Amino acid sequence: MSEATAPEMEMPKHGDFCWTEIAINDLAACKSFYQNVFGWEMPASKVDVGMEYQEFNLPDSYPMGGMYQISHEICGEELPPPHFLNYISVDNVDETTAKAFDLGAKIIKPGIDVPNVGRMSIIQDPSGGMIAFITLGGNPE
């Protein structure tokens, strides 16, 4: 999420959906597709996440998500299929991830710090659905 957008938007509450990522095989084609279908604007992310990361938003609105091209550098040896990943705001990523694990979730990516964004994790719920948890507003000490 772009650092510049944080003051313009209301911070999400615990349990709110707050971001969507689209992981795709052809970034240029998908940018064009979503721009033409929904009129999304595609400003480049102001946050350096170590890869080309494209934010998207409706005209005159704050960013609502980002997209990136799936690669071995990001995903490792076995590439996942293209997918959407929704982020849910939580008060504490590590506590929420541990609670989810105790309730039957599989931890896909334990809590990690994302510079200038916050802390996040990815879990798979007991039915197999993937979701990310995020705490915005900087990194915990």
Give per-residue pLDDT as tens, 92-103: 999 999 999 999
User: What's the angle, vertex CA 110, arms to CA 108 and CA 116, rounded to 5?
Assistant: 120
State the pLDDT at residue 2: 46
Choice among 50-54, 79-83, 85-89 with the minimum mean pLDDT: 50-54
Residue at token pair 């504490």: 92
- Is there a domain that residue 5 lies in? no
Indicate if 60 and 32 belong to the same structural domain.
yes
Alpha-carbon span 125 to 26, nearest angstrom: 28
> Cα 52 from chain centroid?
14
- Domain around 139: 90-141
Indicate if 66 and 95 belong to the same structural domain.
no
CATH of the domain at 95: 3.10.180.10
How many domains in the chain? 2
Alpha-carbon span 108 to 21, nearest angstrom: 16
- What percent of the chain shows pLDDT beyond 90? 66
Which domain-ending residue is among 64, 83, 102? 83
- Is there a domain that residue 17 lies in? no
**Mean of the per-residue pLDDT values of the chain:** 88
Q: Are 59 and 52 in contact (CB under 8 A)?
A: no
User: What's the angle, vertex CA 80, arms to CA 76 and CA 84, rounded to 5?
Assistant: 120
Kindly state the average pLDDT of the residues 56-60: 91
- Which helix (H) or strand (E) is 63 found in, with range? none
State the pLDDT at residue 67: 94
Kindly state the average pLDDT of the residues 103-107: 98
- pLDDT per residue over 113-126, tens digit each? 988 889 999 999 99
6 against 116, higher pLDDT:
116
Indicate if 69 and 108 belong to the same structural domain.
no
**C-alpha distances in angstroms, 58 versus 8, 18, 70?**
14, 15, 24
Indicate if 96 and 140 belong to the same structural domain.
yes
State the pLDDT at residue 9: 58
